[in-house]
Amino acid sequence: MYEHDSAYHSIQVTENAAWRTLVFEHNQQSSMALDDPFETDIEYVGYFHVAMAIKPDASRTLVIGLGGGSVVKRMWRDYPAMRIDAIEIDPEVVEIARDLFALPVDERISVTVGDGRQFVKVTAETYDIVIVDAFDDDRVPRHLTTEEFMREVRDVLTPGGVVAYNFIGSLHGSRSRAFRSLYRTMSNVWRRLWVFGVGYADDPSHPGHNIIMLATDADLTAEELLQRIAGRVDGMVSVPAFHLFGEDLYRGPIRRGDVPLILDEPGAKRAPRGRARRR
């Protein structure tokens, strides 16, 4: 129903009897149920709501990478006190989200066209949750994965705030180096880091999963996090099957010694481990 090459993507929007789907290049980015614009059949999107289990009083979220707006729409509907800033580099994607994927026009949603890293550098706002769900084909843009960027994100997080990344890769084995490098980099910035392999509990041998990685300095144990997930954060979260997401928490060993930190300049010296100064 829509096909165009923008300055950033080869974009397609397709539709069947039940779903409308946004595709960049050959990768599905967003979907929307035709009979309920807040529902999606893309499973990983719901895992971003685990951030609410880490920061239940969250009222301000930054989403880097809009796509069809699945994350933004559901947070706007499900959490009436939530204000959401979304950053999308492709203006054509913003138009598609509004025109074809029912992104609400509301004062609690602000959409900015631009680069997510530049926005983080210049914003005067602070956020309880920062979601990084931006992709160049099937990879997160490198400048959104470096230690320097993560320290910039940490600067705009409120105390106990959480950052959540969507990453496509493997949790272990010969194809896990990229994931393990990102994990090492995140663990060099935040004190606590949890990894959810979407569908991993059902198929641990699969070579690639959406991996949701959540990092925070909040004083929270894995057991407490799992309890909050099982209780849907005191009933706050309505995402289908959310109470079962704890089954996908990865507790296996994650080797870090053989993979590099991701830095702005390859070969640069590691940043000091001291905490970033809050603005």
| pLDDT, tens digit (0-9, with 9 covering 90-100), for 31-85 | 999 999 999 999 999 999 999 999 999 999 999 999 999 999 999 999 999 999 9
High-pLDDT (> 90) share of the chain, %:
86
Using CA atoms, how far apart are residues 100 and 113, in angstroms rounded to an integer?
Answer: 18
Class of domain 41-248: alpha beta
Phi, psi of 102 (to 5 degrees): 55, 35
Question: What is the identity of the amino acid at 179?
Answer: F
Q: How far apart are CA 177 and CA 130, in angstroms?
A: 24
pLDDT in tens, 134-149: 988 778 999 999 999 9
What are 91-110's pLDDT values in tens digits?
999 999 999 999 999 999 99
Residue 212 in contact with residue 228, Cβ under 8 Å? no
Ranges 72-81, 155-164, 206-215: which has the least confidence: 206-215
